[in-house]
Amino acid sequence: DALLEESGGGLVEVGGSLKLACTGSGLDFDEFAIGWFRQAPGKRREGISCIGCKDGSGYYVDSVKGRFSISKTNGENIVYLQMNNLKPEDTGLYYCAAGNKDLTRVHPTAEPMYDWWGRGTQVIVSS
């Protein structure tokens, strides 16, 4: 069975940085789109970035564009999310997920396009 696991979360001050990792087993990351999602307290889960879902090196929603960077090395089942200039509104539980490349090309951060999910890693940005 496919298994995804997030790591790298923690407590950081405003303006600080964290690097999250999504490690997979039982599936080949090169064949899937890998997305990052987050759920802030009291809010719905939202997709924020993905790789392998659109042409180019990554896709980002506006709220993280210019601050977050997604990366992956071909042949490795690890996707990173480098998060810089963190803000209090970045606080939340961060999940990674693997999805269909063709479907995510049209809907890059739509949850139904993703089939396998990790359990999340907590990020807290203190002000």
Three-class DSSP labels, the chain: CCEEEEECCEEEECCCCEEEEEEEECCCHHHCEEEEEEECCCCCCEEEEEECCCCCCCEECCCCCCCEEEEECCCCCEEEEEECCCCHHHCEEEEEEEECHHHHHHCCCCHHHEEEECCCEEEEEEC
Chain segment 104-127, per-residue pLDDT in tens: 998 999 999 999 999 999 999 998
Q: In 3D, which of 78, 76, 55, 59 has the Cα closest to residue 68? A: 59
Q: How many Å apart are CA 72 and CA 14, to the nearest integer?
A: 26
- pLDDT (mean) for 62-87: 96
- pLDDT (mean) for 58-77: 94
pLDDT of residue 67: 98
Mean pLDDT of all residues belonging to the chain: 95
